[in-house]
Amino acid sequence: MKKEKTILFDLDGTLIDSTPAILESFKVTLSHFGSEIPSDKSIIQQIGHPLDIMFESIGVTPSKVDEHVARYKEHYRKVSKLGTSLLENAKDAVELASLHATLGVVTTKTGEYSKILLEHLGLMGYFEVLIGREDVIHPKPNPEPINKALSKLQKDKKECWMIGDTCMDIVAATQAGIESVAVTSGYASSNQLEECSSHICENALEAVKLIIKT
């Protein structure tokens, strides 16, 4: 059966919770370089942004960001599986979506690690494309990652949706000319999401149900 719809998923806060692995990797990295360690809240507020932007936002000198990112990735690789879990209803969301749409992942995480995590969590087989940070010049909220995913899938923008938990996901979708659904299961509040999205659901499963009915 030909699937007319395309659904692109964000990862952190949409399908997975890797907060423990992210926090640990930031703290180990900052300690390694003798950098000041901010509160967990300060780090969590930046999740969804690329790592270089996250490190700059918490006070790392721009000239030292690259070495911080490299050290972070070295540690994250070791703890990512143990420190990551599927969000409630995430597997159900992907399974249901796969019956009605072609699926992809568009994330600011490193694509290499994203694939490893999704394979570990038993979901990678559902996705026909995964666009990570290293695959684009301009990450979300720029539309480049979405456009690249659709190009690889050879899909036009009709009946294409993005599901994400931050306004970066929603703005990227809008700029790419596709529809979107924001979910409150991640790192942005309902009030923040209301500023950028007209479709807001509690989680990815509810978002998929909305898309199927639309």
Please report the DSSP string for 168-199 in residue order.
Answer: HHHHHHHHHT-EEEEETTSSS-HHHHHTT-S-
Distance CA 48, CA 54 (A): 9
3-state helix, strand, coil split of the chain in percent (to 5) is 50, 15, 35
CA dihedral in degrees (129, 130, 134, 137; nearest 10)? Answer: 70
Distance CA 159, CA 43 (A): 35
* Contact of 62 with 101, CB cutoff 8 Å: no
Look up 10 and say whether it is catalytic. Answer: yes
Report which of 135, 119, 129 is spatially closest to residue 16, judged by C-alpha positions. Answer: 119
Count CB-CB contacts under 10 A for residue 134: 10
Q: Which residues are tagged catalytic? A: 10
